[in-house]
A = this chain, B = another copy of it.
Amino acid sequence: MDTRFSSAIHALILIAASEKPMTSEDIAGSVGTNASYIRKIIGSLKKKGIIESHRGISGYALKLKAEDLTLLQIYQAVNEIEAICLFDLHQNSNDKCIVGRHIKSVLTEMFMEMDEAIILALSGKTLADCIGSIQRRLDAAGNGCPRE
């Protein structure tokens, strides 16, 4: 199970909603994991310019606006990838067979359409949407804002 993506979103909601810079320990306490796992995620997010830390102040702050930060950017950052490739393609097809000769280009084209579908879905959601969803649940339960 690879929970880097969901843990990163959780961490970023905390960082965005907090009035003071959040430390790895603060974040780990809410995510329910250890601080070293969070620090790895934080490292990937920093590398992509999504969050920043300031000399002399412990903790991290969001570098982009929550409404400008898409789930696609978060997914790419924590997986340290540029392209989305949902499905792997076998590489040793036999060129002497006419199916084997053309399968790579057929499936590359088809899998790219699948990748495009998920890129579209991931880029259509922002960190602000996640915060908004949390806020709606808090409003419905009558208990304040995520800053609490």
Q: Is the interface of A mostly helix, strand, loop or mixed?
A: helix
Task: Give CA–CA (A1, B87) in the complex, Å.
Answer: 9
B-contact 0/1 string along A107-148, CB 8 Å cutoff: 101110110011011100100011001100110000110101
Measured between beta carbons, the chain B residues less than 8 angstroms from A64 are none
Q: What residue of chain B has the Cβ atom nearest to residue A108's Cβ?
A: B6
B86 touches A86 (CB 8 A): yes
Measured between beta carbons, the chain B residues less than 8 angstroms from A87 are 5-6
Q: Looking at A2, A17, A94, which has the most chain B CB atoms within 10 Å of its CB?
A: A94
Known contacts A30-B97, A134-B99: A117-B121 contact under CB 8 Å: yes
Task: Give CA–CA (A30, B89) in the complex, Å.
Answer: 14
Measured between beta carbons, the chain B residues less than 8 angstroms from A105 are 137
